[in-house]
Amino acid sequence: MNPAGNMRRLRVPCLLGALLCLSAAAQEPRVVHDVQSKYQRITVQDTANGYRQLIFDGRFDGSDAIQSEMNLDSHDELTLSYTRHIMAALPVAARLQHILIVGLGGACMQRYLRKLLPDATIETAELDPAIRDVAAKYFFLTEDTRQIVHLGDGRAFIERSKDKYDVIFLDAFTATSIPYHLTTREFLGAVKDHLAEGGVTCANLWDEEADYADIVKTYSAVFPELHVVKCASSGNSVLVALPRSLVLTLQGWTARAEAFERTHPTGLDLPQLIRQGASMKAPIAEGARVRVDKDRPPSFSHGQPGRPTGRRVIGSKVAPEPAGRCAQITMDRRANGKRPTTVKCRSRPALPARMNVAKLVRKAPAKVLIT
């Protein structure tokens, strides 16, 4: 028996184990800012592959919604799927001089639109002052006469405003949902009233939410024409709402997008996004109900939304998990800056913190489908 040889054999797996631990630690996001505001906990983290992310009320167990994401090497790039698809509304608008966004986050859409539309004024309504501070310090938001942030509840801002807008983007979320008062018939009526001639409203929605059908039904009660663009590789859909019927066809929409790309190169290939994801008629599920202010749940109030329980990752967002439904977990694999890898679980495996795709496949190989 050779004790020295045994020691050498023992050192090899120990060394490999140590290297694997160091490699895993290197892949962990680095928190660069973490603060509790009046409304939520705000965390900014940098990933190992060069992306900065904004998270609200993080649990840091792999289930947190990425509210905003920025490529640190290309600040104006739209990295999240829904931020690219929501731009499909731009070719529908008659003019693009005055834009309103409800919800600031990491100001990714604001930065992109400022560069794409140099003659436009972009206003944003944001409830949380701490978000504006974070967007300025960590996401390179610059305010001036063309980029204006109004602090306060988005609904209250619209209801008080005397301005009209060519495009109104609705993108206000808590960690897990859209505040109820930003989804009612009364609120959407105010949004419609603040659209300029030829204007358009565009909303980011989670299409696997239990309330998705009710929200679409509510939009249909206010706007005479609706179209949906399903966002690739995510659980988001973009709802395009027109205050007057244009009888917009898929061919007409893509033709508008092609013309728009010639004058305003987006880098997104809007015609292709529309061809792949657009539904020319928003489906309204049987039994869906119109949301109205008087039915607002007690846990919701202006600027202080309630928090649903149970979560799952869908695309780059998080939604409540209905009992008995299978989980869908989407992990972004951005080593080459390509589209994310989606893992759909037929049953819910127990997931340790920040479990990656490879570990998930090894944990439940018979129940994991990568699409």
Strands of 30-36's sheet in order across: 30-36, 41-46, 51-56, 68-71
What residues contact 176, with CB distance under 8 A and at least 6 apart?
65, 307, 308, 311, 318, 319, 320
CB 293 within 8 A of CB 181: yes
Q: Where are the domains of the chain?
A: 81-279, 326-370
Name residue, tokens 């929501």.
Answer: 86
This prediction has a pTM of 0.76
- Cα four-point dihedral sign 304, 310, 316, 317: negative
CB 106 within 8 A of CB 66: no
**Distance, C-alpha 337 to centroid of its chain:** 18
Tens-of-pLDDT digits for all 371 residues of the chain? 555 555 545 454 554 454 444 444 557 899 999 999 999 999 999 999 999 999 999 988 888 889 999 999 999 999 999 999 999 999 999 999 999 999 999 999 999 999 999 999 999 999 999 999 999 999 999 999 999 999 999 999 999 999 999 999 999 988 778 999 999 999 999 999 999 999 999 999 988 888 999 999 999 999 999 999 999 988 899 999 999 999 999 999 999 999 999 999 999 999 999 999 998 778 888 899 999 999 998 764 444 443 333 333 333 333 333 333 333 333 333 333 333 333 333 333 333 333 333 333 333 333 333 32
Q: What CATH superfamily classification does 81-279 receive?
A: Vaccinia Virus protein VP39 (3.40.50.150)
